[in-house]
Structure 1
Amino acid sequence: MVRLDAFGRIRFMSVILLFILLCVFIVQNLPQSENDIQSTKSLVVADEKLMKPIEIEENIEKGKKSTKLTASEKLLKPIKIDKKIEKGKKCFQTPKDFHVDDIEFFADILNAEIQPNPERSIFFHETSCFKNEMINMTARQACAVESAAKLNPNRTIFILFASPTGFTTNQSEMPITEALKSYPNIHFRNVDFETYSAGTPVEDFHHSGKLFRSSYLVSHMSDYLRYLSLFRYGGLYFDLDVVVQQNLDELPPNFSGVQDSAVVAVGAMGFQQNPIAHMILELCLKDFAVNHRGYVWGSSGPAVLTRVLKKICREKSIQKMTPSKCWGFDVLPRKNLYAIHYSNWKHFFNKKLTNETLEQTSKSPVVHLWNKLSIVERIKKSEKRTAYEVIAMKHCPKVFEASGTYF
């Protein structure tokens, strides 16, 4: 036997210790299963994507500067994607052979016998999720539709529902619904997002499921549909919190309106069905797909049209946008469509300001009531009227009468 001196024994023990440590390291770092391997790959891919800062326009209405989200802030997002998509799709996608007793569903917009007449149609969209599949419009929403139908009998009015909706067959309809059904130019339609998006610039975006992940799904669905309907048919689009006060034939063929110094609003828009207008809408849809941020409320509505117009007009100032600069598109002054600024929405409900508010809005073809802010303000009918009541009595009389004690 070879005897080692003290120095040799130390070297020998060091080699043995290093060998043991190497074995332990290898064992600890070996994947335990195929799932571990896939998880590791997923984390690497997610991390590579999330390491790139995301530039967003947060609340463009208030003119805030862009904000960067770090990778760590978004790291857990992929874990929740599938459940969130399925939750969104459950409400807004119609299963095959879908049937509910006592409900006669509205025809699909693409398959209905009466189709939108290009440039002569007016669109409203209801993107709420109706759990019982029965139409359930508020008096104020119905007022918007009646006012458009009453003052524009030569146009077809289409109310598009994002979730499967219909009339009940076993009982009388709500008085408000009956009021709308009395107009022959009002048509109720459902939308199948799969077919409605097909063949458009947002077809791939729709299949990605990004829209259904939105934290503001109802609002973003409304933004999405307005551009898509106008891209398909041309015509006019209005939010459901407006009242139409005039025949709309005098409006420019391609238009939207100034909301404030920083934003071109999209609560009232018109587009012809011609190549130039179609190209503007195509740019809007592409911008929507690229810049949609489901966690930012204002990322997909006015922000889209404002960005597109700044590009095609080559003009940063909204006040300097003219048809000659903007491919024939008119950006109307605030007095035309948004005479009462959203910061003054209470003027419509203040009886002391009735005459002043009526005077301010008297020449506006459309009045915007800012439902996002005013929805909590109920009006109890009385002899002394608010401006909103006076406007509604004149332009949506059937709905106003059917609404009962409150409007």
Structure 2
Amino acid sequence: MALPKKTKRILTRDAFIFCIIIIIMYKYYQWKEQQFIYEDDDIMPEEEEQPLFPEPGVMFVETTDNLNVSALSVCSIESAARMYPQKPVVYFMKGLNDSKASISTHYKAFDVLKTLSNVYLIPLDYKLLFNHTPLLYWYQKVNPANEIYWIHVISDASRLALLWKYGGIYFDTDVISVRQIPKRNFLAAESSSSSSNGVMGFERHHYFPWKCMKNFVRNYRRNVWGNNGPRLVTHILKIYCDLPDFTKTGDINCHNISVLHPNRFYPIPFAKWEEYFEPVTVMPAFSNSYALHLWNYMNKDKKKTIVADSGSLAEKLFIRYCPLTYKTFVKNIR
């Protein structure tokens, strides 16, 4: 028996609606997979892992397999080791493992680092590092082969997890320490509108790195450089703080975080980065700075180096703050 026309219309409508719902659900789950949504990201787990050291230290990371560490990277680590003699200075290296430990003496970097008693080299294991954080879910799903900025992205993720798990100070490996940072929970303003993630410091299990990791996963964008790094940190910071004009030299305090003046780390802004490689008669005092960012990313094409007896600002910084690195890499004396 044929169905009434009204019934056919109702069934056709319901079938159409059902198909639309199925398509919407498929698109949602497809989008969800692309966005790496972490369902339990509001839950801070009870951390079972113990700190690496009794007191938080200074941390650097190398996210590639490279063991041929650059002079600038070694200088960054040496300067931190000298500036914070009572703290452990830890260099997390992805390429460091038992099989490569025997050849480490072939690299200049290890000649310098092994002489610094408070420097420790530790293998960087991403799965272990991201365990008990929102980043583990993202890391298990992401495909590095499909990532345009993988080295930058994994570095951005690693520093957040390290600060959350262990606390302390994180430095990029193109930052030379010139004074101790007196703050425990701090960010480095790069301008009046943005914060850097190249220098950060937090107590263990501080809320800010956790908030950043949550946002990292929820709003992950693989095609935008810096989206998961400085932009992310700036976004989370602005939820809690209004950045001032920084016309004066003072820092600001907001929600248990010190936002340090751009001159603390960026007295020479990125647009003038080549000034570090120009001769100077007298080295500036940098009296308002704790460390100096030499903008290695800006130098990736020109590849300027520290030249012995050139009188450049960078050479003078090496001589004063990382003399072993200067002797080994610049003077080539081993």
Regarding TM over 0.5, the answer is yes
Is 2:196 aligned against 1:265? Answer: yes
CA RMSD of the aligned region, Å?
3.1
Please, which of 127, 130, 133 is the counterpart of residue 63 of structure 2?
127
SS at match of 2:252: coil
Check conservation: 2:265, 2:291, Cα contact below 8 A.
Answer: yes
Q: Amino acid of the residue matched to residue 219 of structure 2?
A: N
Is 2:325 aligned against 1:394? Answer: no
Report the Cα distance in structure 2 between the residues aligned to 1:350 and 1:201, rounded to whole angstroms. Answer: 44
Deviation at 1:220, TM superposition (A): 0.9
How many residues in Structure 1 have an aligned counterpart in Structure 2? Answer: 292
Q: Percent identity?
A: 24
Moved over 6 A (4+): 44-47
| 5+ long unaligned stretches in structure 2 | 1-22, 35-47
Indicate the structure with greater helix content.
Answer: 1
Give the TM-score normalised by structure 2: 0.78
Check conservation: 2:197, 2:233, Cα contact below 8 A.
Answer: yes
Task: Flag the structure with larger Rg.
Answer: 1
Deviation at 1:379, TM superposition (A): 3.0
Residue aligning to 1:160: 92
What does 1:3-402 align with in structure 2 at a 5 Å threshold? 48=27, 115-119=52-56, 121-130=57-66, 135-165=67-97, 167-169=100-102, 172-209=105-142, 213-246=146-179, 248=180, 250-273=181-204, 278-313=206-241, 315=242, 322-323=252-253, 326-351=254-279, 353=280, 355=282, 358-359=283-284, 361-375=286-300, 376-382=303-309, 384-402=310-328
SS at match of 1:359: coil
Q: Amino acid of the residue matched to residue 378 of structure 1?
A: T
Check conservation: 1:211, 1:220, Cα contact below 8 A.
Answer: no
Check conservation: 1:264, 1:318, Cα contact below 8 A.
Answer: no
Cα 1:262–1:347 change in 2 (3 A) is same
Deviation at 1:350, TM superposition (A): 0.9
Check conservation: 2:52, 2:166, Cα contact below 8 A.
Answer: no
Q: Amino acid of the residue matched to residue 208 of structure 2?
A: I
Check conservation: 1:234, 1:273, Cα contact below 8 A.
Answer: yes
Q: Deviations over 1:45-104 (max 9, x none)?
A: 89835998x9xxxxxxxxxxxxxxxxxxxxxxx9xxxxxxxxxxxxxxxxxxxxxxxxxx
Residue aligning to 2:18: none
SS at match of 1:236: strand
Cα 1:139–1:337 change in 2 (3 A) is same
| 5+ long unaligned stretches in structure 1 | 1-43, 55-77, 79-109
Deviation at 1:316, TM superposition (A): 6.2
Deviation at 1:255, TM superposition (A): 0.7
Report the Cα distance in structure 1 between the residues aligned to 2:219 and 2:274, rounded to whole angstroms. Answer: 33
Report the Cα distance in structure 2 between the residues aligned to 1:171 and 1:214, rounded to whole angstroms. Answer: 30
Give the TM-score normalised by structure 1: 0.65
Cα 1:346–1:316 change in 2 (3 A) is closer
